[in-house]
Amino acid sequence: MEKPSLPKGTRDFGPAQMAKRQFILENIKKVFQNYGFQPLETPAMENLTTLTGKYGDEGDQLLFKILNSGDFLKDIDQAKLEARSSKIITTDISEKGLRYDLTVPFARYVVMNRNEITFPFKRYQIQPVWRADRPQKGRYREFYQCDADVVGTNSLICETEIILMIKDVFAELGISDYSIKINHRAILAGLAELCEAKGKESSLFVAIDKLDKIGEEKVKEELRARGFSEGNLIALFEILNFVGTTAQKIEFLTSKFLNTPSGQKGIADFKEVLNLLSGYGANEEHVEFDIALARGLSYYTGCIFEVKINNVSIGSVSGGGRYDNLTGVFGLPGVSGVGFSFGVDRLYDAMEELKLFPKEAQISSQVLIAHFDEQSKQYGLRLLQQLRKNGIASEIYPDSVKIQKQLDFANKKLVPYSIVIGSEEVKSGILSFKNMKTGAQQKIPLNEIISIVKTNN
Amino acid sequence: MEKPSLPKGTRDFGPAQMAKRQFILENIKKVFQNYGFQPLETPAMENLTTLTGKYGDEGDQLLFKILNSGDFLKDIDQAKLEARSSKIITTDISEKGLRYDLTVPFARYVVMNRNEITFPFKRYQIQPVWRADRPQKGRYREFYQCDADVVGTNSLICETEIILMIKDVFAELGISDYSIKINHRAILAGLAELCEAKGKESSLFVAIDKLDKIGEEKVKEELRARGFSEGNLIALFEILNFVGTTAQKIEFLTSKFLNTPSGQKGIADFKEVLNLLSGYGANEEHVEFDIALARGLSYYTGCIFEVKINNVSIGSVSGGGRYDNLTGVFGLPGVSGVGFSFGVDRLYDAMEELKLFPKEAQISSQVLIAHFDEQSKQYGLRLLQQLRKNGIASEIYPDSVKIQKQLDFANKKLVPYSIVIGSEEVKSGILSFKNMKTGAQQKIPLNEIISIVKTNN
């Protein structure tokens, strides 16, 4: 007899977790739709030609690949087989892989449907992605992403609305202590210019992205090893260590960027986003200008975002930015877009840690009908249908067992109300109605029960 | 430059299709929850030890298998490699596969969580499944299933509620011309006894399952080839060809099954389901007792169901039945359950064919704000937030382009209303509000717009 198990890094979501996950997802969906985003779903499997080379070498290693069907070894060159190189043979025996994120499939979709799409195109997409990563706390091999992107416009209204959507989602979820960190690739480019990083920009960004993890000294060591001079480091950290309000940071950087056009462009964009924000009647609360924010993904070209929930173990729950050429690799250059993504699993963990889920978050019946005998059970069926017709999720205990067992079932499933039926109830139509939380009981007819349950729903 | 494409048998669902799919799925979910079913999700990937051997040899061939990560060829026996047997090598280079249905993962979940689950356990599950089938019309390699199962009770209340749920879902979807075909494995066993099929029951069921496709003569030929006598065939077709109401069929079969206990048990169960149905105050409309219904899957042991929408090309959209030992293979015998499944893709196709989707089924903004100049745009931002705060999904055209282009955008996206803002509107606060369907325009303040849109939502 085999003992069943789950693949490493994957999880089942039972009813209790599903209720909480649906609470998160429904709220995100509601906000996305409120801002005019439309849903898209793409298949779990993509051709490997679509996926490979889009996430760097490391990403390619982490793609789950699907074995070709049928006799996949049939046409393999004998020499290749004898060479026993898994890497070389992979492309011969596998044509498809599981999607690694929602961005590349979205870019593919836009290119394939460019003639039908009305631009600017605002889409949201909520689906699982798969990565053959080493599983650890907060990192899974299957996890959901919730993306919203706008493509086909350069307008900074889109960046501003990302900030507004994050605020709306967190308000719905009850998360109040968080920061929306913002930076701009052009500001980073200006910074690189100021510390003479020409040709080694990415080493610079990779290093400063680690600032809050490894600290100033380690970052400096790393940069020295990459050939940055002490003068470069002084110029760099004068900026990174600047402390002040957003307005002061802008003023300070403006003075530094007098001769660096890219830096000026970044500052101008950022100021315009703040200006638009006040145009919406919104304030800068939670918005934090973070000059050290770099974000790893290389396709960003404009504003970049990262959202951190404070005082939880894994706080980074969302990120995104503007990209100018995401669809270029599929043959459609010059389509600017901006988007962001919520990590549902991290939001879930953070909300658990902050105890933000309603105590009895369950998707369950509102009423259980319990019965003393066959006749009562038969009588209960008709009541059941009345409850359901009134939109009250209900169930009857299906077997004829002791009343206590039926009520225990209601308690375990967190069903808030029960109706107990015996011969007296069948005769009179006056039912024993019990609030399972308080234990309070009353004898009332069905129409009163319906109005009580509806009122408290 | 690579031209992107989709793997064979897979599809993207753009905004228009998603709106229709969500309409179907939300209604199914609502009905499932109304009957006390709770959500479950399992991972896309399962261990192949969980999947293999559960769907017959053909099913095993149709499993999508995931290539092991890393150097998967490293430990493969040289002789095995030289033998070039894809079949033998598969188990060495692949440990995981994509789920083939939702039933086996559910059984695995029940066994792994047997100590935490409150039985009877009613779960629903709406997720995609994958099969390496040859793609053809109505058959995809990735498609959604919507399953609802109850495990841990023998009560025929569950069977009855399956009928009620199907009726409720179809009422919500606007499907009115359909049949819920019902049979019982014990009735089939009785039938097998009457035509002396001992030891060749499955050939008999496979043959009669094809009756409506290939006709009586072909079925007879097939059965003769399997060793059934002319006498057997006469006994069989006397029953299969019986025409009458459900009550007449029951009476006829009761007379035939006087000496076949399994047949009697099947008839008794079926009569009890009809009795319960009237207990709920429901009638037998759409319910059809079909003695020839066999359903391929071998794990069914009690009532079996199949739902057919009439007058569409692919009408079979749902099926299910009772099984007594689904979890036995994972080490938990004796857990009876009953369940059924909707095929969303087939429902979708049938509803398209019957033109049952609302004409403008779109998930889109309700209002587009268009603007003549920068000042109008800035003014529009604040209106936008007011609309959204009132739960009215809205958007502003993000770029400064000609008004006509902005209104064309609203038309293409099927946004039902627009607000056009120029300097006059900014000054007076009286807005140009346009119904995009009728073309009717009026000049009114925002609060009136909000109440009109809310009323017509």
Q: In this structure, what are the phi and psi dihedrals at residue B313, rounded to the nearest 5 degrees?
A: -70, -45
Residues B229 and A66: their CA atoms lie apart, in Å, by 49
Nearest by Cα to B425 from B365, B386, B370: B370
Q: Residue A221 has which token pair?
A: 């060591």
Residue A20 has pLDDT above 90, yes or no: yes
Q: What is the pLDDT of residue B219?
A: 94
Question: What one-character DSSP code corresponds to residue A174?
Answer: T
Pairing of β B121-130 and β B38-39: parallel
Residues A107 and A113: their CA atoms lie apart, in Å, by 10
DSSP string covering B373-385: SHHHHHHHHHHHH
Residues B436 and B416: their CA atoms lie apart, in Å, by 5
Å between A205 CA and nearest CA of chain B: 29
Nearest by Cα to B316 from B339, B336, B341: B341
Residues B275 and B284: their CA atoms lie apart, in Å, by 10
Burial class (CB in 10 A: 0-12, 13-18, 19+), A245: exposed
Q: Does A371 touch chain B (CB under 8 A)?
A: no
Longest dimension (CA), chain B: 94
- Residue written as tokens 């996305």? A32
Q: Interior CA angle at A224 toward A223 and A227, to 5°?
A: 90
**A1: confidence class by pLDDT, cuts 50, 70, 90:** low
Q: Residue B266 has which token pair?
A: 């099947």
B152: left (phi over 0), alpha (psi -120 to 50) or beta: left
Nearest by Cα to B364 from A312, A223, A121, A38: A38
CB contact under 8 A, A385 and B280: yes
User: Which residue in the set B94, B150, B363 is minimally distant from A67, CB to CB?
Assistant: B94
Q: Contact, A155 vs A112, CB < 8 A?
A: no
Nearest by Cα to B44 from A125, A62, A13: A13
Query: CA-CA-CA-CA torsion for A265, A268, A273, A275, nearest 10 degrees?
Result: -170
Q: What is the pLDDT of residue B354?
A: 95
Residue A450 has pLDDT above 80, yes or no: yes
Residues A245 and A285: their CA atoms lie apart, in Å, by 12
Which is more confidently placed, B57 or A157? A157
Q: Taking CB atoms and an 8 Å cutoff, what residues of chain A touch B116? A: 14
Encoded amino acid at A172, one letter? E
Residues A48 and A69: their CA atoms lie apart, in Å, by 15
DSSP string covering A209-238: HTHHHHHHHHHHHHHHHTT--HHHHHHHHH
Comparing A183-187, A213-217, B248-252, B294-298, the range with the smallest average pLDDT is B294-298
Q: Which residues of chain B have pLDDT under 50?
A: none
Q: Contact, A280 vs A164, CB < 8 A?
A: yes
Q: Contact, B417 vs B453, CB < 8 A?
A: yes
Residues 38-57 of A with CB under 8 A from B: 38-47, 49-50
Residues B265 and B271: their CA atoms lie apart, in Å, by 10
Q: In this structure, what are the phi and psi dihedrals at residue B247, rounded to the nearest 5 degrees?
A: -60, -40
Helix (H) or strand (E) holding A255: helix A246-256
Q: Taking CB atoms and an 8 Å cutoff, what residues of chain B touch A339? A: none
Q: What is the pLDDT of residue B124?
A: 98
- H helix runs in B84-156, sequence order: 86-93, 103-112
Characterize A97-131 residue by residue with b for buried, 16 or more Cβ atoms within 10 angstroms of its Cβ, and e for exposed: bbbbbbbbbbbbbbbbebeebbebbbbbbbbbbbb
Q: What is the pLDDT of residue A360?
A: 61
Å between A36 CA and nearest CA of chain B: 5
Encoded amino acid at B248, one letter? Q
Q: What is the pLDDT of residue B69?
A: 87
Q: Taking CB atoms and an 8 Å cutoff, what residues of chain B touch A150? A: 398
Q: Where are the beta strands (DSSP E) in B99-258?
A: 121-130, 142-151, 178-184
Q: Interior CA angle at B363 toward B357 and B365, to 5°?
A: 135
The CB density around residue B429, as the number of other CB atoms within 10 Å, is 10
Q: Contact, A12 vs B340, CB < 8 A?
A: no
Q: Which of A87, A127, A280, A406 would best serve as a mutation to test chain B binding (most B beta carbons within 10 A)?
A: A280
Encoded amino acid at B365, one letter? S
Mean pLDDT of chain A: 93
Q: Which of B1, B6, B60, B112 would best serve as a mutation to test chain A binding (most A beta carbons within 10 A)?
A: B6
CB contact under 8 A, B61 and A69: yes
Longest dimension (CA), chain A: 93
Q: In this structure, what are the phi and psi dihedrals at residue A20, rounded to the nearest 5 degrees?
A: -70, -40
DSSP string covering B35-102: TT-EE-B--SEEEHHHHTTSSHHHHHHT--EEEPSS-TTTT--HHHHHHT-HHHHHHHHEEEEE-S-S
Strand order in the sheet with A394-396: A394-396, A367-371, A417-421, A431-435, A441-444
Contacts of B406 (CB under 8 A, 6+ apart): B368, B370, B371, B397, B418
Q: What is the pLDDT of residue A361?
A: 66
Q: Does B242 touch chain A (CB under 8 A)?
A: no
Nearest by Cα to A69 from B194, B314, B360, B141: B141
Contacts of B82 (CB under 8 A, 6+ apart): A81
CB contact under 8 A, B45 and A4: no
**A132: confidence class by pLDDT, cuts 50, 70, 90:** very high
Residues B407 and B387: their CA atoms lie apart, in Å, by 18
Grouping H, G, I as helix, E, B as strand and the rest as coil, residue A280 is coil
Contacts of B3 (CB under 8 A, 6+ apart): A330, A331
Q: Residue B218 has which token pair?
A: 């072909």
Q: Does B112 touch chain A (CB under 8 A)?
A: yes
pLDDT > 90 fraction of chain A, expressed in percent and rounded: 82
Closest residue in chain A to residue B12, using alpha carbons only: A42
Residues 69-108 of B with CB under 8 A from A: 69-74, 76, 81-82, 84-87, 89-90, 93-96, 98, 108
Which is more confidently placed, A209 or B445? B445
Q: In this structure, what are the phi and psi dihedrals at residue A399, rounded to the nearest 5 degrees?
A: -105, 160
Q: Contact, B395 vs B366, CB < 8 A?
A: no
Residue A83 has pLDDT above 90, yes or no: no
Q: What is the pLDDT of residue B89?
A: 85
User: Which residue in the set A43, A141, A394 is minimally distant from B6, CB to CB?
Assistant: A43
What angle separates helix B230-240 from helix B201-209, to the nearest 10 degrees? 50
Nearest by Cα to A191 from A249, A247, A253, A271: A253
Residues A142 and A13: their CA atoms lie apart, in Å, by 12
Grouping H, G, I as helix, E, B as strand and the rest as coil, residue A307 is strand
The model's pTM is 0.93
Nearest by Cα to A419 from A450, A389, A390: A450
pLDDT tens profile B309-349: 999 988 789 999 999 888 998 999 989 999 999 999 999 99
Å between A358 CA and nearest CA of chain B: 17
Residues B133 and A14: their CA atoms lie apart, in Å, by 30
Highest mean pLDDT among A195-199, A358-362, B425-429: B425-429
Closest residue in chain A to residue B368, using alpha carbons only: A36
Å between B84 CA and nearest CA of chain A: 6
CB contact under 8 A, B43 and A393: no
CB contact under 8 A, A398 and B155: yes
pLDDT tens profile A245-259: 999 999 999 999 999
pLDDT tens profile A143-156: 999 999 999 999 99
Distances (CA, A) of A231 to A190, A223, A238, A294, B268: 16, 12, 11, 22, 92
Comparing A11-20, A295-304, A311-320, B382-391, the range with the smallest average pLDDT is A295-304
Contacts of A282 (CB under 8 A, 6+ apart): A163, A164, A167, B385
In chain B, % helix, strand, coil (3-state, to 5) comes to 45, 20, 35
User: Which residue in the set B21, B43, B280 is minimally distant from A10, CB to CB?
Assistant: B43
Burial class (CB in 10 A: 0-12, 13-18, 19+), B12: middle
